[in-house]
């Protein structure tokens, strides 16, 4: 008879764990689909090789202009790359604060900031929300080839072009292209990837994360 309260407690714990379980994440091929509860939509991350470049694509659930001024969410997104596919090397990771980071050598991310983006006819600076692009190795900025500056581009029709941050194009797809050499990668390499979208959950942990093992064919 003494067991019954314990069984009841275990049942309550199980039900509450199921209620709070993170949404299912699917990954297929080189894509990671991350459900974002606060937007009630899915964010799709893609990792591909194109020649000597690594191409990281993010399909947002809203057009960029709308995402940047969204009240419930910031358009911050990120990729963790475990380039040796070895969890024992790279970031020690904190699965609560930075889910998906364990074992990663590199972090590529978009940070939303409001910053001057242009000057008006009188020379006054116009400030708008913008996504900064950054590539970190460990806790520092990654060493980048001379003349290469990471930047987000946006898909318009079938083409990618620089983002006009004054009036962002009517598109929901962002891309960052970086030389494979930045990450010490070559064609055919198999890497572990985690895709993250902060502020997607209303309760802790706030970040929504998806993981996949991807071969850069």
Are 34 and 42 spatial neighbours (Cβ–Cβ below 8 Å)?
yes
> 90 or 168, CB closer to Ca ion?
90
Q: State yes or no: residue 103 binds Ca ion (CB under 5 A).
A: yes
CA distance 75 to 61: 10
> 68 or 193, CB closer to Ca ion?
193
CA distance 116 to 127: 4
Q: State yes or no: residue 172 binds Ca ion (CB under 5 A).
A: no
Beta-strand ranges (E) seen in the chain are: 26-28, 31-36, 41-50, 53-59, 77-82, 106-119, 125-137, 140-141, 153-156, 159-162, 173-179, 190-197, 208-215
> 82 or 98, CB closer to Ca ion?
82
Size of the site for Ca ion (CB under 5 A): 6
Q: Which stretch binds Ca ion (CB under 5 A): 7-15, 100-108, 134-142, 170-178?
A: 100-108
Which residue of 39, 82, 152, 196 would you call a contact of Ca ion, by CB under 5 A? 82
Ranked by CB distance to Ca ion, the top (closest) residue is 90
> 86 or 167, CB closer to Ca ion?
86
Q: State yes or no: residue 86 binds Ca ion (CB under 5 A).
A: yes
Nearest to 178 by CA among 83, 96, 94: 83
CA distance 96 to 206: 9
Q: Which stretch binds Ca ion (CB under 5 A): 15-23, 45-53, 80-88, 94-102?
A: 80-88
Q: Which stretch binds Ca ion (CB under 5 A): 84-92, 132-140, 200-208, 209-217?
A: 84-92
Which residue of 90, 93, 168, 210 would you call a contact of Ca ion, by CB under 5 A? 90
> 35 or 103, CB closer to Ca ion?
103
CB of 95 to Ca ion, least distance (A): 15
CA distance 154 to 161: 6
Are 198 and 70 spatial neighbours (Cβ–Cβ below 8 Å)?
no
CB of 86 to Ca ion, least distance (A): 4
Q: What is the DSSP string of 158-199?
A: TEEEE--SSS--S--EEEEEEEGGGGT--TT-EEEEEEEETT
Q: State yes or no: residue 20 binds Ca ion (CB under 5 A).
A: no
The angle subtended at Cα 116 by Cα 98 and Cα 58, nearest 5°, is 40
> 53 or 84, CB closer to Ca ion?
84
What is the binding site for Ca ion (CB under 5 A)? 82, 84, 86, 89-90, 103
């Amino acid at each position: 008879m003494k067991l019954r309260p314990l069984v009841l407690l275990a049942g309550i714990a199980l039900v509450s764990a199921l209620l709070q379980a993170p949404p299912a994440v699917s990954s297929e091929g080189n894509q990671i689909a991350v459900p974002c509860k606060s937007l009630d939509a899915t964010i799709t991350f893609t990792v591909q090789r194109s020649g000597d470049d690594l191409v990281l694509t993010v399909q947002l659930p809203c057009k960029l202009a709308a995402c940047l001024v969204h009240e419930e969410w910031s358009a911050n997104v990120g990729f963790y790359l475990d380039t040796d596919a070895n969890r024992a090397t790279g970031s020690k990771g904190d699965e609560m604060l930075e889910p998906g980071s364990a074992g990663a050598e590199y972090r590529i991310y978009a940070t939303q900031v409001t910053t001057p983006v242009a000057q008006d006819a009188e020379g006054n600076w116009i400030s708008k929300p913008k996504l900064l692009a950054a590539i970190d190795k460990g806790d520092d900025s990654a060493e980048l080839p001379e003349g290469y500056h990471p930047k987000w581009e946006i898909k318009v029709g079938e083409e990618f072009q620089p983002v006009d941050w004054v009036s962002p194009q009517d598109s929901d797809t962002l891309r960052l292209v970086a030389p494979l050499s930045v990450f010490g990668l070559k064609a055919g390499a198999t890497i572990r990837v985690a895709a993250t979208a902060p502020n997607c959950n209303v309760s802790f942990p706030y970040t929504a994360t998806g993981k996949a093992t991807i071969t850069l064919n």
